[in-house]
């Protein structure tokens, strides 16, 4: 029994150690590869740097109508964001009227907001200020270089059939007006600003038009992307922005990891000194707890933010609580004169209801916060619930198994080794 238990114990320690090392450095056997946990966790903008903007729709619409407007808005923004070619952008609705846009890696907030939040109401207007057609009727927009204008970039537009027809009628009418008169002008207006006002010389039947202006290549591509992406159905105002420099993000992450490492080490030392053998067991259980929490977070695709990291580091301190409750009970039983084996058994079962009741109340708080909270509160609730469940599991299953193995080895049977 003794040797078998020692082997099982060594095996468990080896597995846990491998898990921990694989978590830190990654793991590779043949084609089987696990990346380090640090790389697999999705990091929030506050940890990797970037820009986020919360835009609010200026509308009185409610219910289904609002829903429709917001979903359209989100789609348009998504198209524009995708055109920016970023690694992992994120566009989501927040509450009823808001849209949150996360742009990792972007440094210049202004450019990003301009590119994303422009209403981009493209209109073609005749000299009377009547709208001939709008951006919805544009099928495609791209940058062209017109040779006769010295290769200055322009934006070429292609209308859909309805737009082409309207444009043909309007150009025919304009071309019939006297030469040189302002009545020949068809202005191109973007967000109520005239960007070019060319005079029409001939009827244009093919559904094509060119916006000329003094664009740089970048401006022209941005304009083309805006028009392609479509107009936002509603005006948006910026209610919140945040720019985190990439160095600050990395700095926060590295400092948090360092804090976690030191914190964990100190907790190990404390548990080992105070509880001896059970303290060693608690340390193994704690490593398993941390691995479980991290893997569940990866599994859920959770995004780790700075408060999330802080919450996790805090939970490591709290996770030993169930172990502490068990060990204190065992010590009491030993002091009451019971044998080690009997003490472990009865201490364990007595601790169980305490652990259950105290954790269920915390879980209730977690569930409610998840249901009724928003944004960061929801994220916090998820981490809290995962933490509580994982700590109960490790304390009840892992700690118990390890305690039994230690007892069966018959080597560590002096009650002094149990902190009593």
Partner 1 sequence: MKVIERKKLWFSLSIAIIVVGLIMGMIQGFNLGIDFTGGTMMQINLGKRVSVDEIRNIISKFDLKADILHVGEEKHEIIIKTKKDLNNNQRQEIFKVFKEKYNLKDEDLRQAEQFGPSIGKEIQKKALLSIAIAALGMLIYITFRFEFKFGVSAIITLLHDIFVVLAIYAIFRIPINSSFIAAMLTIVGYSINDTIVVFDRIRENIKFMKKKNYDDIVDASVNQTLTRSINTSLTTLITITALYILGVESIKEFALPLIAGTITGTYSSIFIASPIWTSWKNWEVRKGRYNAS
Closest contact distance (angstroms) between CB of 112 and partner 1 is: 9
Closest contact distance (angstroms) between CB of 13 and partner 1 is: 22
Q: Are 321 and 391 in contact (CB under 8 A)?
A: yes
Buried b (16+ CB within 10 A) or exposed e, 228-257: bbbbbbbebeeeeeebbeeeebeebbeebe
Ramachandran class of 74: left when φ > 0, alpha when ψ lies in -120 to 50, beta otherwise = alpha
- Tell me whether residue 71 or residue 242 sits nearer to partner 1 (CB atom): 242
Taking alpha carbons only, the member of 77, 230, 228, 232 closest to residue 157 is 228
Rg, C-alpha atoms of the chain = 33
Spatial separation of the C-alpha atoms in residues 148 and 170, rounded to whole Å: 25
Spatial separation of the C-alpha atoms in residues 257 and 264, rounded to whole Å: 10
Contacts of 77 (CB under 8 A, 6+ apart): 91, 99, 101, 116, 117, 232
Closest contact distance (angstroms) between CB of 404 and partner 1 is: 22
Taking alpha carbons only, the member of 385, 367, 247, 380 closest to residue 309 is 380
- Tell me whether residue 57 or residue 157 sits nearer to partner 1 (CB atom): 57
- Tell me whether residue 230 or residue 311 sits nearer to partner 1 (CB atom): 311
Matching residue, tokens 């009593």 = 420
Spatial separation of the C-alpha atoms in residues 327 and 313, rounded to whole Å: 23
- Tell me whether residue 365 or residue 409 sits nearer to partner 1 (CB atom): 365
Q: Which helix (H) or strand (E) holds 166?
A: helix 161-175
Taking alpha carbons only, the member of 259, 297, 286 closest to residue 38 is 297
- Tell me whether residue 9 or residue 384 sits nearer to partner 1 (CB atom): 384
Closest contact distance (angstroms) between CB of 305 and partner 1 is: 10
Closest contact distance (angstroms) between CB of 407 and partner 1 is: 22
- Tell me whether residue 5 or residue 415 sits nearer to partner 1 (CB atom): 415
Closest contact distance (angstroms) between CB of 378 and partner 1 is: 10
Closest contact distance (angstroms) between CB of 289 and partner 1 is: 12
Taking alpha carbons only, the member of 130, 209, 139, 199 closest to residue 167 is 209
- Tell me whether residue 212 or residue 305 sits nearer to partner 1 (CB atom): 305
- Tell me whether residue 141 or residue 326 sits nearer to partner 1 (CB atom): 326
Closest contact distance (angstroms) between CB of 133 and partner 1 is: 32
Q: Are 240 and 97 in contact (CB under 8 A)?
A: no
Three-class SS state of 12: helix
Contacts of 319 (CB under 8 A, 6+ apart): 286, 289, 387, 390, 391, 394
Closest contact distance (angstroms) between CB of 123 and partner 1 is: 25
- Tell me whether residue 230 or residue 307 sits nearer to partner 1 (CB atom): 307
């Amino acid at each position: 029994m003794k040797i078998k238990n020692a082997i099982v114990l060594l095996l468990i320690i080896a597995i846990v150690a491998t898990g921990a090392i694989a978590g830190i450095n990654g793991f590779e056997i043949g084609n089987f590869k696990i990346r380090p946990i640090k790389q697999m966790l999705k990091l929030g903008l506050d940890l990797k740097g970037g820009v986020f903007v919360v835009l609010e729709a200026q509308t009185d619409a409610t219910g289904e109508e609002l829903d429709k407007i917001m979903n359209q808005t989100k789609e348009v923004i998504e198209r524009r964001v995708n055109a920016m070619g970023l690694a992992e952008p994120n566009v989501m609705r927040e509450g009823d009227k808001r849209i949150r846009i996360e742009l990792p890696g972007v440094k210049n907030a202004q450019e990003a907001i301009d590119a994303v939040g422009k209403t981009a109401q493209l209109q073609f207007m005749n000299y009377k200020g009547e709208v001939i057609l709008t951006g919805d009727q544009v099928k495609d927009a791209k940058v062209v270089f017109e040779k006769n204008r010295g290769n200055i970039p322009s934006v070429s537009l292609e209308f859909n059939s309805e737009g082409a027809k309207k444009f043909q009628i309007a150009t025919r009418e304009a071309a019939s007006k006297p030469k040189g008169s302002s009545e020949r002008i068809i202005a191109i207006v973007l967000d109520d600003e005239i960007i070019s006002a060319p005079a029409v010389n001939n009827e244009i039947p093919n559904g094509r038009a060119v916006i000329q202006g003094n664009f740089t290549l970048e401006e022209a591509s941005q304009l083309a992307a805006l028009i392609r992406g479509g107009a936002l159905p509603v005006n948006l105002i910026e209610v919140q922005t945040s720019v985190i420099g990439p160095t600050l993000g990395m700095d926060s992450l590295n400092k948090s990891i360092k804090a976690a490492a030191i914190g964990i080490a100190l907790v190990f030392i404390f548990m080992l000194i105070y509880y001896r053998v059970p303290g060693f067991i608690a340390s193994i259980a704690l490593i398993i707890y941390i691995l479980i929490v991290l893997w569940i977070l990866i599994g859920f695709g959770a995004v780790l933010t700075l408060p999330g990291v802080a919450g996790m580091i805090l939970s490591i301190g709290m996770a030993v609580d169930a172990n502490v409750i068990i060990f204190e009970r065992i010590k009491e039983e030993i002091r009451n004169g019971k044998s080690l084996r009997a003490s472990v058994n009865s201490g364990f079962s007595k601790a169980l209801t305490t652990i259950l009741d105290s954790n269920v109340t915390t879980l209730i708080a977690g569930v409610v916060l998840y249901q009724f909270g928003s944004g960061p509160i929801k994220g916090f609730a998820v981490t809290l619930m995962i933490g509580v469940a994982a700590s109960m599991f490790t304390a009840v299953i892992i700690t118990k198994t390890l305690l039994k193995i230690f007892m069966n080895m018959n080597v560590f049977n002096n009650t002094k080794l149990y902190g009593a």
